[in-house]
Homo-oligomer: A and B are copies of this chain.
């Protein structure tokens, strides 16, 4: 065996069975080794941002990592934006990055770069193979780190000569770090804070937003009257009919501060205390009132469900939540297409157990409430703020959950960053319905321009926020990459197109023209 084969075999033996890849010459042995692992699937993406975003989506839905295959420093560089998002999501992601043969580095050939330097800002853990015999062990160590609760971005660097040289099958074994638990004093403090008079909040993020954890949060609400609020951008929120509903913290700082203005006590589970997404002149970054009692019971690296169970028990909470979301999907009124109507149509037509990848930006904020009563589903969001995540995330979710329908709600400007995703959806026949919300604008920036205090933007500034000249024709772009597509300008057109797309088992795109 060569080093590459020992590595891929060891990872595959430890349940790594998907590799999202965009390889180059220095990774050819790693590529060839995939064929020696019968249970590993290889999925080509035509840009590295698609690779890493897909691994994020896979990790969120599978709760175990996919492998990525990236070409040296610059290939990793192209994947960094979505790794940033994955790191912020707490997703398990295992990056395998090729490098030149160790003896070749001294010659400073054109692709030579500081691979570790590229990796560090976007990885929770970085390792470098030290020898052909060490390559598989390094990969397994990285796999263990990727699986550290709730999930980490772990990157290991595989020099080409370690991959191609002869090596023995590794004796290393997988070690997954144990999950820290909230300490008992914290549980007690939290219980006391929630029992006190005033407006009390359970602020939830990370794994606290899975169905079972939310059930416990619902018990706590039943015992204390606490409001349940989740982070504005969450990795994976299990919601819809029959589940415990949570309020979503508004995106805009003023609105968020207003939503929290009367909060006397807040207990955070799976999340840090709420802060403003961006800074704005004269507006606060910290969103809770100064006098709010804050109990940071469990940050996202601490077992969220365990903390909630123990907190509920400490409160002698009833066995059932105070309320579950009732099914409600009122049909939209016909007329020109707008986000609320799209949200209503999606809620009405989406199948049970769908997965929504929401990178719909301004439009997404409007669609979220109108899908509250839809059949139970998972809602995945842009956790790190770096746009171009939504379509790759949909790929990964579809690969992780081949029996579930994936719906990508995708803003037009953001979609352009990783539009190559459509090709992989077509190649793998992934069951993804992509809805492009085409408003011909970076709409959010037109709002933000005002909010940061720019009063009279000039024509050059405005041109940088505009996507209409030329208008982007998403039906043609989809066709160019093998995905069938339809354009819709009215609610009725949209409903017809959506029904057809959802009935298809495979990829489809709807260009929703909104104003």
Which residues of A come within 8 Å of B, CB atoms? 21, 23-26, 28-29, 31-32, 34-36, 40-42, 44, 46-47, 49, 72-75, 77-78, 80-81, 84-85, 88, 100-101, 103-104, 107-111, 113-114, 117-118, 120-122, 160-161, 164, 233, 272, 275-279, 281, 285-286, 383-386, 388, 413, 416-417, 419-420, 423, 426-427, 444-445, 448-449, 451-454, 457-461, 463-467, 469-477, 479-482
- Residue among A46, A114, A467 having the largest count of chain B Cβ atoms under 10 Å: A46
The answer on a CB contact under 8 Å between B109 and A464 is no
B-side contacts of A386, CB under 8 Å? 72, 74-75, 77-78, 111
Contact across chains for B164 and A423 when beta carbons are under 8 A apart: no
Select the residue from A32, A469, A475 with max chain B CB neighbours within 10 A: A32
Could you list 26 examples of A-B contacts with CB < 8 Å?
A21-B464, A25-B448, A26-B278, A31-B457, A32-B449, A32-B458, A34-B458, A34-B460, A35-B457, A36-B458, A42-B463, A42-B464, A46-B467, A47-B388, A73-B84, A73-B121, A75-B386, A78-B78, A78-B388, A100-B278, A109-B276, A109-B277, A111-B277, A476-B480, A479-B480, A480-B480
Bound Cα distance A362, B21 (Å): 21
- Among the listed B25, B40, B118, which residue makes an inter-chain contact with A80, where contact means beta carbons less than 8 Å apart? B118
Taking A25-B448, A111-B385, A272-B108 as contacts, is the C-beta distance between A473 and B480 under 8 angstroms? yes
Tell me whether B80 and A29 are in contact (CB under 8 A): no
Min CB distance, A134 to chain B, in Å? 19
A470 to B483, CA, bound (A): 9
Kindly report which residue of chain B lies nearest to residue A21, judged by CB atoms: B464
Shortest CB distance A66–B (Å): 15
- Nearest Cβ distance between residue A364 and chain B, in whole angstroms? 15
Instruction: Please name all residues of chain B whose beta carbon is closer than 8 Å to the beta carbon of A460 when the two chains form the complex.
Output: 34-35, 40-42
Listed from nearest, the 7 A-B pairs whose CB atoms lie closest are A35-B458, A470-B482, A77-B80, A74-B386, A476-B480, A101-B279, A477-B480
| Highest count of chain B CB atoms <10 Å: which of A26, A77, A88, A481 | A77
Chain B residue nearest in CB terms to A101: B279
CB–CB B109/A113 < 8 A: no
Is B35's CB under 8 angstroms from A453's CB? no
How many of these chains are in the complex? 2
Q: State in angstroms the CA–CA spacing of A227 and B191 once bound together.
A: 83
Q: How far is the CA of A77 from the CA of B286 in the complex (A)?
A: 27
Taken together as a complex, chains A and B put the C-alpha atoms of A384 and B111 apart, in Å, by 5
A415 nearest CB neighbor, chain B only: B46
